[in-house]
Amino acid sequence: MKIGFRSNVGKKRDLDEDSLIVVRNETVSESKREQITLLIVADGMGGHNAGEVASRLATAKVAEEVVGAIFKENRRDLFEKKEKNPLKIAIEEANSYIFNEVKENPQYRGMGTTVTAAVVLGSAVYIGHVGDSRAYIVNEEEIRQVTKDHSLVQEMVDRGEISKEEALVHPRKNIITRAVGIYQDIEVDTSTEYICGDDYLLLCCDGLTDMVRDKDIRRIVMQYDDPQRMCDELVKKANKNGGLDNISVILAQFDELSKRKDLKSDKTQIIDRDETRILKENG
Report the pLDDT value the prediction gives residue 195, as an integer from 0 to 100.
95
In CATH terms, 2-281 corresponds, of 3.40.50.12780, 1.10.260.30, 3.60.40.10, 3.40.50.740, to: 3.60.40.10
Report the pLDDT value the prediction gives residue 187, as an integer from 0 to 100.
97
Residue 227, pLDDT above cutoff 50? yes
Give percent of the chain above pLDDT 70. 87
Q: How far apart are CA 118 and CA 157, in angstroms?
A: 26
Q: How far apart are CA 203 and CA 201, in angstroms?
A: 7
Domain ranges within the chain, ordered by starting residue: 2-281
- Stretch 52-79: mean pLDDT, rounded? 85
Report the pLDDT value the prediction gives residue 153, as an integer from 0 to 100.
97
Query: What is the pTM assigned to this prediction?
Result: 0.89
82 by DSSP, 3-state: which? coil
Task: Name the nearest CA neighbour of 51 among 248, 260, 208.
Answer: 248
